[in-house]
Structure 1
Amino acid sequence: MSEIVYFEDVQVGDRNEFGPLTISREEIVAFASEFDPQPFHLSDEAAAGTHFGSLASSGWHTTALSMKMMVAEWQRNPGIQAASLGAMGVDELRWLQPVRPGDTLRGVSEVIEVKASRSRPEMGIVKTHITLFNQRDEPVLSMKPIAMFRTRPA
């Protein structure tokens, strides 16, 4: 196992890349069918009469795919996952471009704030800015997750 990346090891400006992941028509429709069954997420025909023009992934699906890619990267570098204590939420979630069948997504995460917890000395708070890009390097998602990291044992 790689060395654990504790809260004290994280600095503003640290960057991490994750992905790539290609999304299929079947995945888009399956997610939408269960979690966001709006017509423009279910068929090209229904989407044709909207601003999408053709099938587009649910923004919630795109957000879930970002988590899937990040966790896959953490599993390749278990030191990060070992220090993770989950998240407190997400600020400024934006879906910037539709994600289409066949798009290949990749992400970049940059630490924008680190703060020691006043009430829980065993953890610190790490805020990152995450951007997902498609294969044309167009940003498709932007968000600022607020995560909790384990502090180094005394």
Structure 2
Amino acid sequence: MSDDFTTDQREREASGGHAYGRYFEEFEEGAVYKHWPAKTVTESDDHLFCLITMNHHPLHLNDVYAAQSQQKRNVVVGPLVYSLALGMSVSDISGKAIANLATEELSHPNPVFHGDTLFVETEVLSKKASASKPDRGVVKVHTKVLNQDGVLVAEFKRLVLVPKKNPGA
């Protein structure tokens, strides 16, 4: 191990590494972050997620059952779509978070199918410094999930508690 090895996130970022997340001051209302990379959802992803969460609904796991549904094929389970979107946004939104405080208005207006590629973008709606703790603030964001055709397949708002870079400023 080298003598200049450090595990401190600020020191590592100062070395030129990609900043992971943002401090409170770095969020701007109205900013939109187009998260990268996108993710193609495979049948394996969907089945594994269903099995580890014990969601055995046949619409997600059974081709014969799904063929008789209104979609005529398997539909990716909604919590996987939400989890992927949340995870894809971490490096831009909550990588420095103290806590995720709430998720609001989660909806799935259109289905996701095996083989769909999800693109995620997040808009900063508001930010408010904490009145009781000067080293942090709450950021409210709106995340949208679109498939490869630009169709909205999920969206949600969330409140994230993030630290300030300069708590005394």
Q: TM-score range by the shorter chain?
A: 0.7 to 0.9
Counterpart mapping for 1:71-86 below 5 A: 71=90, 74=91, 81=95, 83-86=96-99
For residue 104 of structure 2, what is the aligned residue in structure 1? 91
Relative to total residues, which structure has the larger helix share, 1 or 2? 1
Cross-structure match for 1:149: 162
Q: How does 1:18-57 map to 2 (within 5 A)?
A: 18=35, 19-35=37-53, 36-57=55-76
The amino acid that maps onto 2:160 is A
Counterpart of 1:109? 122
Change (3 A) 1:9 1:31: same
Indicate if the aligned counterparts of 1:33 and 1:42 stay in contact, CA closer than 8 A: no
SS of the equivalent of 2:56 reads: coil
Residue segments in structure 1 that go unaligned for 5+ positions in a row: none
Q: Say whether the 8 Å CA contact 1:89–1:145 is kept in structure 2.
A: yes
- In the alignment, what sits opposite 2:7? none
Q: Using a 3 Å threshold, how does the CA distance of structure 1 residues 5 and 26 change in structure 2: closer, same or farther?
A: closer
Moved over 6 A (4+): none
* Mapped contact 2:89–2:122 kept (Cα < 8 A): no
Q: Which residue of 2 aligns with 1:100?
A: 113
TM-score by length of 1: 0.87
Q: As a proportion of its length, which structure holds more strand?
A: 1
TM-score of the superposed pair, with normalisation by structure 2: 0.80
Q: Is 1:16–2:33 an aligned residue pair?
A: yes
Most deviating of 135-144 and 11-20: 11-20
* Aligned residue type for 1:62: V
Matched residue, 1:7: 24
Tell me the percent identity: 27
Out of 110-119 and 124-133, give the one that drifted further: 110-119
AA matched with 2:125? I
User: 2:146 aligned to 120, 130, 133, which one?
Assistant: 133
CA contact (8 A) 1:125 1:147 kept: yes
Q: Could you say which residue in structure 2 is the equivalent of 1:120?
A: 133
Total equivalences in the alignment:
148
* Contiguous gaps of at least 5 residues in structure 2: 1-12
